[in-house]
A and B are shown apart, each in its own frame.
Chain A
Amino acid sequence: AQKITQTQPGMFVQEKEAVTLDCTYDTSDPSYGLFWYKQPSSGEMIFLIYQGSYDQQNATEGRYSLNFQKARKSANLVISASQLGDSAMYFCAMRDETGGFKTIFGAGTRLFVKA
């Protein structure tokens, strides 16, 4: 069965520093996609980054990068140069891309950025 684990319920980071949010997954599907979403206090889900299981290089989108270690089944999100506006809940998700396209989410990590 598929599973996503985010072990950090909450984290603090100093403004302008980098932070890593952990995500591990478990799946037997040969093809899958990994996502990170940001949910600010206003509630909407904001897409940050996507990594396909066959992608050789780690995905990057501006200050966000996904540290994909396939053998370890981890997909950590790295935010460089944190900003106060990065304070939010962050969700890791995995999508089965072999046919069912079911997507599951982790429990989330709440990030607090300190000035």
Chain B
Amino acid sequence: EAQVTQNPRYLITVTGKKLTVTCSQNMNHEYMSWYRQDPGLGLRQIYYSMNVEVTDKGDVPEGYKVSRKEKRNFPLILESPSPNQTSLYFCASWQPNTGELFFGEGSRLTVL
């Protein structure tokens, strides 16, 4: 089954404690991306990757890091989380010249 898998789905953490949200896709897609969703703002792109070792900033990259060492994985790293990073996070993947972005189920993060 074609899917994008994110972990953890839910996380409560404290300010400054480094965390990683993993994302893995099984469709051999070249492109992957991370979004955060906040009420009234829709989804905003944090980072995206066009292939292994190729990443670029989206609209809200501050406070986040990513890496793309393998085609299937695209982890999101919060080195020192702050309360303003409390949000719902989505990972997505797609292939150029096709339609759909495939989304993971979302990861709800709370930073206290």
Contacts and interface: CB of A to CB of B under 8 A. Distances in A.
- A, B: real partners: yes
B105 A101 contact: no
Chain A interface extent, by class: 20 to 34
Contact of A107 (B40, B45, B96): B40
Contacts of A64: none
A107 B42 contact: yes
Contacts of B94: 101
B97 A105 contact: no
Nearest to B108: A43
Contacts of B62: none
Interface residues of B, number: 28
B99 A50 contact: yes
B86 to A, nearest CB: 15
B41 A101 contact: no
A108 B88 CA distance: 15
11 contacts: A35-B100, A43-B88, A43-B106, A45-B92, A45-B106, A50-B100, A97-B97, A101-B50, A102-B45, A103-B48, A103-B92
Contacts of B105: 43-44
SS class of chain B's interface: helix, strand, loop or mixed?
A: strand
A104 interface: yes
A113 B88 CA distance: 25
B58 A102 contact: yes
A75 B25 CA distance: 29
Contacts of B58: 102
B43 interface: yes
Contacts of A37: 103
B11 interface: no
Contacts of A6: 42
B74 interface: no
A100 B45 CA distance: 13
B56 A100 contact: yes
Interface string B51-67: 00000101100000000
